[in-house]
Structure 1
Amino acid sequence: MIEKGFSNPTDRVIKLKSMIIDAKPYVESERAVLATEAYKENEGLSPILRRAKVVEKIFNNLPITIRDGELVVGAITKNPRSTEICPEFSYDWVEKEFDTMEHRVADPFIITKETAQELHEAFKYWPGKTTSDLASSYMSQETKDSMAKGVFTVGNYFYGGVGHVTVDYGKILEIGFRGVIKQVAEAITKLDRMDPNYIKKEQFYNAVIISYNAAINFAHRYAAKANELAQQESNPTRKNELLQIAKNCSRVPEHGATNFWEACQTFWFIHCMLQIESSGHSISPGRFDQYMYPYLAADKGISKEFAQELVDCCWIKLNDVNKTRDEVSAQAFAGYAVFQNLCVGGQTEDGLDATNELSYMCMEATAHVRLPQPSFSIRVWQGTPDEFLYRACEVVRLGLGVPAMYNDEVIIPALQNRGVSLRDARDYCIIGCVEPQAPHRTEGWHDAAFFNVAKVLEITLNGGKVNDTQLGPVTKDMANFRSIDDFYTAFQTQMEYFVHNLVEACNSVDIAHGERCPLPFLSAMVDDCIGRGKSIQEGGAIYNFTGPQAFGVADTGDSVYAIQKQVFEDHKMSAQELKDALSANFGYPVGAQSESSAGKSSLNEQEIYDVVKRVIAQHGSLDASAIKDEVYRQLSSGEAAPSAPAGNNRYQEIRRILESTPCFGNDIDAVDLVARRCALVYCKEVEKYTNPRGGQFQAGIYPVSANVLFGKDVAALPDGRLSREPLADGVSPRQGKDSLGPTAAANSVAKLDHFIASNGTLYNQKFLPSALAGDNGLKNFSGMVRGYFDKKGMHVQFNVVNRDILIDAQKNPEKYRDLVVRVAGYSAQFVVLAKDVQDDIISRTEQTF
């Protein structure tokens, strides 16, 4: 037997989990008010010292909250799973949503009238002073026009902090914040007064010292609060816990940890304070099992059960972190996503297997807590023990969408190709969704922009136009293509133009963060900011990258192959006929199929009646309730697609021909290599550029959930997709088109060049639970993963859930509040997702062996 199963969580963990699930997210105002006061009080200081004073003000005054039953303490907000606002990055979108954020489609937050008034007063200070304002002033009109038409967006860092980093938790565990202050003090004594950068370096060092003294005080305030609560506590067990928490917070993170409980408290304080300093998401714990394990191994006085409970409590705390975004961005990041990626397994810096006892405890914690955070990942290589992979597959089988799996045999050489040393590459972790980086040595700017490859395809087919507006360069349109080579020539020209605009936008935002929001607290935990005497935003990290990600690759590949085969090889239609059919959306009303494809039908009354009649004819023995469910299933699945209007028979015929074309995801070289070529056009163009921090641009192919949102900006495509339908996610085949099984689909994905897409690739698969049942299911599943990785795939992640359950959860969300699914590079509670995103997950192919 290879199945082991999982133990049950403790009552404490169950209660803490319930607090998270039951929480109603609020927007709170304390951080915004404190930051605004600090900026006003320190207007004469340099940007780095002003930021230090902001951090000092917040750490010294933010409300101290210890939640009932916690063993690991520290909170960003008073209310569970709520959020603070960081107006130094942007603010106006918040004010516009004071009355609507509670009721919006994706990720609603409650804003009380009192909070709204406090934020309104704070926001009066900020016009013209934010990083967003400065970034916008650097951008050309052409770049802004490209964003407005849905070619790409840089909204992630345009409106908020950067995040997307793993800091040196291990250093703080060893020497504490006091040790950092000592390092900086020594660096000051070594400064050369003849160095022209002497002044800036000295100010950076002073900013770090201010920030870390305030951070020590933040922890001491928690010690005082725990002592206060202990004096009021009548339960002797809880009283002793609070007294020990007070001792822990008095010692760490000021000094190094001496046992595993102190190590867990140190970890969380670091992570919590990073979130408070800026609004960046994807602040990722990284290789938790590597830097925490020495403290577990050395702690002879701790039981395995209590150590597991402490890890479980850290998992709960990660779910207490939340973030609000503007209404459009919330749809792209649907599910209250914060992307705190925690990675276990893989190799040591010396190339040996890194698996340890804590690696397995992290899997146990994931099974106990069963919440979206952390975004749990494992690293797999040729030396990965079978037991480790089997155990990971058991966690996948729980249906939580984790762990995501990453291939050392691709990622390590991909990072080396970008200039990362072998030892640092072997030590890589995953940031945010799927992005590899050398931890605590990298400012990767992953997730820097979403780039819509399918939109560039649409623009190419129309000679650089969107509707009647010339957005890109003038090139041949589809009606004038004489061969598929004409397409590639035009596609390359359009790609060059729009990637240039993308880079301009990213660099504008990058410059703005360096000038207005350097982060001294974060920077001192990233190498080699202290050695270089500059913040991470100004180029202090050893490795500096910018990583925009693409989506719509499969749609583009399938479309180009359809043109190649049906127009130029088999002559089933002319280029002009295809162009006309696309312009007419194959005769359908715009948006018709996009709503019926997975969830909400847009059929008219007669068409719905026809579906009912067909179901009765097919299943006459069903009772009325069963007939109703089957009708709903067909409408939800898209089987009952709306009929094209009369008089467009040729458009219908063209669409049928296009949809009969072989698709990416079925292990067909002729198709798969077209998708590979289209992806490479984007990736190779991106890597030509550098950023203001002295680093290189590197491409990724992953969507978050933007493939749904930005699909609404894309017209009909030559693969038969109707206007506004969702695009394929990441490097995955189009929904429902990978019809020859999971191995064929994985083989297609592996043919893409994952080495050049070194900012990460994302591959989603969905399995029926029955396919993974029993020992044989685990063996087949792990064998498929190893086979995909042997063929040089970079990443894969799984949903293991029945379609019927997802459909029922749409209809009865109150029954499924703890149903967690994989969206893209993250998991989320299914019932809090926007319906379009739910529909996209439902529509994915259900695989079996």
Structure 2
Amino acid sequence: MAENHFGKLTKRMDEFREDLLEAKPYVCAERAVYTTQSYKEHADQPVILKRAYMLQNILEHMTIFIEPQTLIAGNQASANRSAPIFPEYAMDWVVDELDKFEKRDGDVFYITEDTKETLRELAPYWEHNTTKDKGLAAMPASSKIFYDLGIIKAEGNITSGDAHLAVQYEKIMKCGLKDYEERTKAAMEKLDLTEMENLKKYYFHQAILIVIGAVKDFAGRYAKLALEMAEKAEPKRAQELKEMAGILSKVPYGPAETMREAVQSMWLVHLVLQIESNGHSLSYGRMDQYLYPYYKKDVERGIETEDSACELLTNLWLKTYTINKIRSWSHTQFSAGSPLYQNVTIGGQTPDKKDAVNPLSYLILRSVAQTHLPQPNLTVRYHAGLDDDFMKECIEVVRLGFGMPAFNNDEIIIPSFIEKGVKEEDAYNYSAIGCVETAVPGKWGYRCTGMSFLNFPKSLLIAMNDGTDPESGVKVTEGAGHFLDMESYEDIEKAWDKIIRDFTRHSVIIETCCDMVLEETVPDVLCSSLVDDCIARGKTLKEGGAVYDFISGLQVGIANMADSLAAIKKCVFEDQSISKQELWDALQNDFEGPEGERIQNILLSAPKYGNDDDYVDSLIRSAYDVYIDEIKKYHNTRYKRGPIGGTYYAGTSSISANVGQGMGTLATPDGRKAHTPLSEGCSPSHAMDQNGPTAVFKTVAKLPTKDITGGVLLNQKVTPQILSKKEDRMKLIYIIRTFFNRLHGYHVQYNVVSRETLRDAQAHPEKHRDLIVRVAGYSAFFNVLSKQTQDDIIERTEQVL
């Protein structure tokens, strides 16, 4: 069995895991209280200093604790798995949903009456004063209508921080925050404060010094607590706590010298970044590269063994899982399973183009397998020179059935980066960020992917309806005529061209409003200071402080769009098996009645995306090319403010937005019923891919992958029995190699679970507490998902090799 291949957790880490799985996720009001205090007390301060004092106040007063099993200190909220409230981003939905958190269909959170009362008392201060309030108010009416109708969704951008990056952990470990402090002081001394821009830089540098001091003191609080606990602990634990106290007195302010110091330094910084902003997809970057020197040195000196280092890593993953995030119910439908997308990347190549796999790469695989949790989100960078031994270990982890690791392809991602102006040495050092998106750790701005969600199938329906949303009846833009008046498929293409270009423009307007408000109201001080070259430029990330700044929105429903276009072209204009009136009526009536079913069956018989059929694959390629051509025309708010880039590209990492946006979409010409999920990522629609995994790979490879730098997310599903034989596991390796080497695919990941198991888990959740599934570019416990998201996963095609 694959479980035995990697061994088991140590006794205490197994106990820690059990404690975390048993912990109820509560809503924690502490951060909201301390944030409100700071905002009131420092109301007259520049916003950047207000944010610094806020973080200082939180770290100074929040509840801290050290679990009895842990070797690493640091907690996000008053209890593990509890979720803080971030009032500066949004409070309306918090108050509206206080009595609903425990009644949700999925992503349930618990809340005490005292916490409810505390949050209600804080709410009046934040009325018309949050990022969400200001973001919505900033949107021009002509664009906001797209947001209100769910055509373009960007709620996550104005109800939380950005994140979607990895900071420079290698430099933090090597130099400590003290180095950042010294560089900040040196930069301040050079400023001519008679210039307004320099005065703004001065405030930013002041803020950095405040938060670095706050992080140092935060570590000191844990050091003090560890020593207090040591006095009452049995000898072995007392020695561990004393060692922990010594480490926390040193890092992250000072440089790390051992693996334990490096891991503690990294964890505490990672943790504070989560406390600073409500962003997700804060990722660890290429951990096997920057942590390996510490591991190697410690093993050689006898300080660590492979087993002790593995336990330390499993401890880190358990701590990573303690972090939780609560979202509004409407946003939860886009991020089902409370994911944090904290990605760890291993493998790939070194900047001198050699295989980067090392002993720590294998140990990270082993530790993630042992821990068997949705976090961290593990990604393997594939390249042609990756040897079969490492690939075999990766497939052994895949066999465990919790959706990891995902595979990203160096052979397409690195050239795509270089083409966009990323230096070669940086391009070779990229890591996965969050789901399948990619960026250069410590040098890239926020949200390399995930700015907003654009619903392709709904956009098509509006294009067919002369610019009017057929569900609400609202005219959103000038169209190119109604479907009933179109005489050829070329008329559909013209209508799509007009509509999607206009919608793309509005998506940029909405994103610009979000970025503008985030920059003005909630700048992240610590996060900005830990990304090059923010300190040298005296700019936060939102102001253009990063070396690189490319972003993408997310295009949802790729397969539905492909199948819809094929059905219209084939059934209406070529075979004429359906009239235009019949199709339009069937869409409005959701295929109800015998006539509706007849129309639906004809549509379902049309060529389908995912079967290596050029007929349909060429149609989605052409449709997608229109969007890509248009999005390249626009810039983000950091353009010409410092970074290389400042431009947009495409991305399909739609997380679980396919469910949420499907709920707001009427029946579509592919035969899909109204309000049901759209296709996920760039994966085929359920049961439409009938020719096996190779055909799916060939279809996906026909997308304009080099232009979809934001990620081409492909989920595949196989049963455990498929991978039970050694020869079948090798077959899967060869298929992946072919997809990446010859077809230049971007990404693939696997759910290894049977439909029967998933259905049994729906009926008997108590028997499947540990069942984890790949939702989109992330994994989640099956039991915490809403039924609609569960059903979406159950219905995915089960492939055979």
TM-score norm. by structure 2 comes to: 0.97
Match status 1:156 vs 2:156: yes
In structure 2, the residue matched to 1:271 is 270
Match of 2:450 among 430, 447, 452: 447
In structure 2, the residue matched to 1:730 is 681
Q: CA deviation at 1:383?
A: 1.4
In structure 2, the residue matched to 1:285 is 284
In structure 1, the residue matched to 2:465 is 462
Contact 2:350 2:428 (C-alpha < 8 Å) held by counterparts: yes
Code of the aligned partner of 2:432: I
Q: Deviations over 1:192-250 (max 9, x none)?
A: 456542111111111100110011000000000011111111x2211111111111111
Match of 1:658 among 596, 603, 609: 603
Distance 1:4 1:408 in 2: 31
Residue pairs, 1:618-633, within 5 angstroms: none
Residue pairs, 1:318-329, within 5 angstroms: 318-329=320-331
Match status 1:744 vs 2:695: yes
Match of 2:788 among 821, 836, 841: 836
Q: CA deviation at 1:551?
A: 1.1
In structure 2, the residue matched to 1:190 is 190
Match status 1:172 vs 2:175: no
Code of the aligned partner of 1:784: I
Q: Deviations over 1:175-200 (max 9, x none)?
A: 11112111111112233456542111
Distance 1:80 1:459 in 2: 46
Distance 1:163 1:519 in 2: 9
Match status 1:497 vs 2:448: no
Distance 2:57 2:654 in 1: 37
SS of match in other structure, 2:432: strand
Q: CA deviation at 1:4?
A: 8.9
- RMSD, aligned α-carbons: 1.5
Code of the aligned partner of 1:295: Y
Match status 1:306 vs 2:305: no
Match status 1:709 vs 2:708: no
Distance 1:141 1:316, change over 3 A: same
Which segment is superposed worse, 769-778 or 485-494?
A: 769-778
Q: Deviations over 1:624-666 (max 9, x none)?
A: xxxxxxxxxxxxxxxxxxxxx3xx43x3322221111120111
Distance 1:124 1:724 in 2: 36
Distance 1:207 1:848, change over 3 A: same
SS of match in other structure, 1:586: coil
Distance 2:97 2:601 in 1: 44
In structure 1, the residue matched to 2:643 is none
In structure 2, the residue matched to 1:819 is 771
Distance 2:433 2:305 in 1: 31
In structure 2, the residue matched to 1:557 is 562
Match status 1:690 vs 2:692: no
In structure 2, the residue matched to 1:794 is 746
Q: CA deviation at 1:683?
A: 2.5
In structure 1, the residue matched to 2:616 is 671
Distance 1:4 1:18, change over 3 A: closer
Which segment is superposed worse, 208-217 or 544-553?
A: 544-553
Distance 1:237 1:520 in 2: 39
Contact 2:2 2:396 (C-alpha < 8 Å) held by counterparts: no
Match status 1:516 vs 2:521: yes
In structure 2, the residue matched to 1:254 is 253
Q: Deviations over 1:15-36 (max 9, x none)?
A: 1111121110011111111111
Could you list the structure 1 runs, at least 4 aligned residues long, displaced by more than 3 angstroms after superposition: 1-4, 192-196
Match of 1:719 among 640, 649, 670: 670
Match of 1:770 among 707, 710, 721: 721
Seq. identity, %: 40
Distance 1:330 1:576 in 2: 37
Match status 1:373 vs 2:375: yes
Distance 1:679 1:319 in 2: 37
Distance 1:4 1:22, change over 3 A: closer
Q: Deviations over 1:344-367 (max 9, x none)?
A: 000112221111111111110111
Code of the aligned partner of 2:311: E
Distance 1:719 1:213 in 2: 58
Unaligned 5+ segments in structure 2 are: 640-645
In structure 1, the residue matched to 2:64 is 64
In structure 2, the residue matched to 1:630 is none
Code of the aligned partner of 1:85: I
Code of the aligned partner of 1:398: L
Distance 1:737 1:551 in 2: 17
Distance 1:3 1:381 in 2: 27
In structure 1, the residue matched to 2:642 is none
Contact 1:334 1:837 (C-alpha < 8 Å) held by counterparts: yes
Code of the aligned partner of 1:244: E
SS of match in other structure, 2:164: coil
Paired residues, number = 788
Q: CA deviation at 1:3?
A: 12
Match of 1:346 among 345, 348, 353: 348
Q: CA deviation at 1:813?
A: 0.2
Unaligned 5+ segments in structure 1 are: 588-644
Q: CA deviation at 1:124?
A: 2.2
In structure 2, the residue matched to 1:783 is 734
Distance 1:504 1:25 in 2: 36
Distance 2:739 2:762 in 1: 33
SS of match in other structure, 1:556: helix
Residue pairs, 1:520-539, within 5 angstroms: 520-539=525-544
In structure 2, the residue matched to 1:294 is 293
In structure 1, the residue matched to 2:492 is 487
In structure 1, the residue matched to 2:208 is 208
Distance 2:530 2:307 in 1: 31
Q: Deviations over 1:654-713 (max 9, x none)?
A: 222111112011111111111222222223222221111111122211221111121111
In structure 2, the residue matched to 1:600 is none
Distance 1:119 1:53, change over 3 A: same
Contact 1:94 1:326 (C-alpha < 8 Å) held by counterparts: yes
TM-score norm. by structure 1 comes to: 0.91
Distance 2:485 2:257 in 1: 72
In structure 2, the residue matched to 1:332 is 334
Distance 1:227 1:685, change over 3 A: same
Distance 2:664 2:755 in 1: 27
Which segment is superposed worse, 388-397 or 470-479?
A: 470-479
In structure 2, the residue matched to 1:218 is 218
